[in-house]
Amino acid sequence: MSAWACSAARSQREDTLLSHSLTSGQAVAKPGVAVFHRPVTPVPLSTGSRLSTPASLTLRPIVRGMRTFIITVLTSLVAFFAPTPAFAYVDPSTGASTASGVIRAFDKPAQNWLPGHRGVDLRLTVGADVLASGSGVVAFAGMVVGTPTISIDHADGVRTTYQPVHPLVATGDLVEEGSVIGRLAHPTTQWPGLQWGAKRGEDYLNPLSLLSAPTIRLKPSPAGGGP
């Protein structure tokens, strides 16, 4: 082989070796040629670069907000539709939440102009304290057809009336449930005691319906006893 052919073959082998070395990351110097290998440095992310956020993380604040809104709405609806507690009343002759000493019952007439008994008569001695059956405003305190009378308007729309009672309050006074509003006067009818009435608008009510129902307790019969 000629000198020129040997030189060409050697040069080809060196080029092949250099190409392989650069591909594998190794630096091999070719005779008479300086080879410099620059390491690859990863490029850092800039501070202004943004990573993609998963959809679940993006929706989480929205879900929390919707949950708070739904709870608020449901709470408001429950409060709005909840039944209003019954207005508290007491027996004006005793201050108890149940009636006692009824001497004449309520007898509502079919028409307001027909005769009947538009209240109840409660046992009470002349001069005894008469109590407000519920909190409210004194609507009237004076004489009605020769009978001393007190009327009280309550927050639930009911007006209660007390006869015959010498008033210790005046029209417009605020009264509390169970507070003394007057003293029982001498009867002006054949029926003694306190006459207690109630109405809503033009509709007369049984005053006893404003009170709690009395608790009935049955006593056990003696052992071996008959009916």
pLDDT at 217 over 70: no
Domain boundaries, the chain: 102-210
Which of 153, 154, 184 lies closest to 168, judged by CA? 184
Position 107 scores a pLDDT of: 79
Cα–Cα distance between 104 and 127 in angstroms, integer?
20
Contact present, 138 and 166 (Cβ < 8 Å)? no
Contact present, 148 and 195 (Cβ < 8 Å)? no
Position 133 scores a pLDDT of: 98
- DSSP letter for each residue of 161-176: EEESEEESS-TT-EE-
Tokens of 36: 């410099």
pLDDT by residue (tens digit) across 80-116?
Answer: 444 434 568 999 999 999 988 999 888 777 666 666 5
pLDDT by residue (tens digit) across 3-48?
Answer: 555 555 565 665 555 455 544 545 444 455 454 455 555 555 555 5
Task: Tell me the Cα Rg of the chain.
Answer: 50
Contact present, 148 and 185 (Cβ < 8 Å)? yes
Cα–Cα distance between 106 and 156 in angstroms, integer?
21
The yes/no answer on whether domain 102-210 falls in CATH 2.70.70.10 is yes
